[in-house]
A and B are shown apart, each in its own frame.
Chain A
Amino acid sequence: MTGHDHHHHHDHEHSELSETELRVRALETILTEKGYIDPAALGLLIDTYETKVGPRNGARVVARAWTDPAFRARLLKDGSPAIAELGYAGRQGEHIVVVENTPRLHNMVVCTLCSCYPWPVLGLPPVWYKSAPYRSKAVKDPRGVLQDFGFGLPEGIEIRVWDSTAEIRYLVLPMRPAGTDGWSEERLEALVTRDSMIGTGLPKQPHEIA
């Protein structure tokens, strides 16, 4: 999709919006009146994923791994139980595998078939993660994807792409930025971006946070 097409696509979505909106309202009315859904439960589901579950959870996992070698070892050996130690578990995170970046290896996670993503640690996926460009390009031209995100990796670094085709969910453990010796876990968390845990970004550098 070119930039022009991208805008065109959004215009298209806006023109369809009212029709879609009416359809969703119709469905919610029908399903509520039939007793299949409870609007109070819908409110809790929305609140959970809009305000409680998100990439700050993953940032806590990463910062803990950066500061606690025993936790890091457990995390890399079996992701979900280690992550559950911090209270994050459940739907779309039942079988999490954590993959570690090194000076020679950069990991990137995609779901070419749909939108599989580790909800308990990253929340719901962003639109670009679910888009045709990312789903098609990540497995064939991950360096091009990184350029789309505005950075490149030096030659000689191997890129390892994980296509989430089963119920295994992958979380990237990025490298701890230099110049953070002695930092507290809480301070380190602020360096961990969502994209650094997908592999389309790197953690912030110390000078980028106040």
Chain B
Amino acid sequence: MEGAHDMGGVPWSGPVVPEPNEPMFHAEWERRAFAITLAMGMPGGWNIDMSRFARENRPPQEYLGMSYYQIWLAGLERLMLERGLIAADEIAAGKPLHPTKPVARTLTPDDVAKVLHRGGPTEREATRPALFAVGDRVRTKMMDPPTHTRLPRYVRDHVGTVEMLHGVHVFPDSNSLGNESPQWLYTVTFDGRELWGPDGDASVKTSVDAWESYLEPASDAG
């Protein structure tokens, strides 16, 4: 979807301001929000692309008006509300008002280390050969689905070169809707001037990781 989260190259952002000796969290509520979000993944049963879509799918003013962990919270609330794990009146009241919905599992203290160590690998077995090879010239599609996608706006409809093959990975666009439909994943590299025009920096090359269905052979190859 088009949204304020898709920030590559937007002109309104200003300088990067690093914070010296930055702490890992800036307030106690950030610690709690972070941990609750991670812990709810197991009983909630959603995947990373559902989480991302729940965070990014909101009006630009809203997205840009929230701090990072406020966005996490808003996303988490949406995922739980959608699944009936909590209700809006419970959040307002600050206590449970409705019966608990059964969940398959919760995260116990014993689980934490092994769940973090296992992570969530997204590579899957290949069932067909890759369409593209390293060195191939490809064009990214001009696309604007209303749902989750990981092809940023600034690289759409541009010609680049396949630099790496990463195997077959879960496809976020469908995974956010509950279907892994894995595809070949490539690193595709673009020249600065291809992306930004003649004023672009010719000494910069930028890549994205792009699934096969984002790409087509470049007709102006070479």
Please indicate whether A and B come from the same complex rather than being unrelated chains. yes
- Residues of A1-34 whose CB lies within 8 A of B: 1-3, 5-6, 12-13, 16-17, 20-31, 33-34
Whether A89 sits at the interface, judged by CB under 8 Å, is: yes
CB–CB B122/A167 < 8 A? yes
Task: Choose among B7, B29, B90 the residue that contacts A20 (Cβ–Cβ < 8 A).
Answer: B29
Q: How far is the CA of A192 from the CA of B91 in the complex (A)?
A: 45
CB–CB B103/A36 < 8 A? yes
**Which A residues lie within 8 Å of B200 (CB)?**
140
Q: A36-B106, A92-B119, A165-B209 are in contact. Are A29 and B95 (CB under 8 A)?
A: yes
**Which B residues lie within 8 Å of A131 (CB)?**
16-17
CB–CB A29/B209 < 8 A? no
CB–CB A44/B16 < 8 A? no
Q: A27-B77, A37-B106 are in contact. Are A128 and B205 (CB under 8 A)?
A: no
**Which B residues lie within 8 Å of A155 (CB)?**
203
Task: Choose among A37, A49, A143, A163 the residue that contacts B152 (Cβ–Cβ < 8 A).
Answer: A163
CB–CB B39/A45 < 8 A? yes
Beta-carbon nearest neighbor of A89 in chain B: B117
B residues apposed to A, CB below 8 Å: 5-19, 22, 24-29, 31-36, 38-40, 43-44, 48, 52, 55-56, 64-65, 67-68, 70, 73, 76-77, 85-86, 90-91, 93-96, 100, 103, 106-109, 111-113, 115-123, 150-152, 154-155, 164, 166, 169-170, 172, 185, 187, 189, 195-196, 200-201, 203-211
Whether A152 sits at the interface, judged by CB under 8 Å, is: no
CB–CB A50/B203 < 8 A? no
Whether A71 sits at the interface, judged by CB under 8 Å, is: no
**10 residue pairs, one from A and one from B, having the closest CB atoms:** A112-B8, A166-B209, A26-B94, A1-B14, A42-B35, A135-B7, A136-B13, A91-B119, A148-B16, A45-B35
- Residues of A131-149 whose CB lies within 8 A of B: 131-137, 139-143, 145, 148-149
**Which B residues lie within 8 Å of A123 (CB)?**
24
Q: A36-B106, A89-B119 are in contact. Are A133 and B29 (CB under 8 A)?
A: no
Beta-carbon nearest neighbor of A53 in chain B: B116
**Which A residues lie within 8 Å of B96 (CB)?**
30, 33-34
**Which B residues lie within 8 Å of A95 (CB)?**
121-123, 166
CB–CB A127/B39 < 8 A? no
Q: How many residues of A contact B (CB 8 A)?
A: 87
Q: How far is the CB of B202 from chain A (nearest CB, A)?
A: 9
**Which A residues lie within 8 Å of B6 (CB)?**
112-113
Whether A115 sits at the interface, judged by CB under 8 Å, is: yes
Secondary structure call for the B interface: mixed
Q: A38-B39, A112-B152, A136-B7 are in contact. Are A48 and B185 (CB under 8 A)?
A: no
Task: Choose among B12, B31, B36 the residue that contacts A31 (Cβ–Cβ < 8 A).
Answer: B36
Known: A29-B94, A94-B120. 11 other contacts (CB 8 A): A1-B15, A6-B17, A13-B67, A35-B106, A89-B117, A113-B150, A137-B13, A139-B154, A159-B201, A160-B204, A161-B205
Q: How far is the CA of A142 from the CA of B96 in the complex (A)?
A: 49
Chain A 154-171: CB-based contact to B (< 8 A → 1; otherwise 0): 011111111111111000
Q: How far is the CA of A29 from the CA of B92 in the complex (A)?
A: 12
Whether A93 sits at the interface, judged by CB under 8 Å, is: yes
CB–CB A168/B13 < 8 A? no
Whether A175 sits at the interface, judged by CB under 8 Å, is: no
CB–CB B85/A36 < 8 A? yes
Whether A90 sits at the interface, judged by CB under 8 Å, is: yes
Q: How far is the CA of A195 from the CA of B65 in the complex (A)?
A: 27
Q: How far is the CB of B156 from chain A (nearest CB, A)?
A: 12
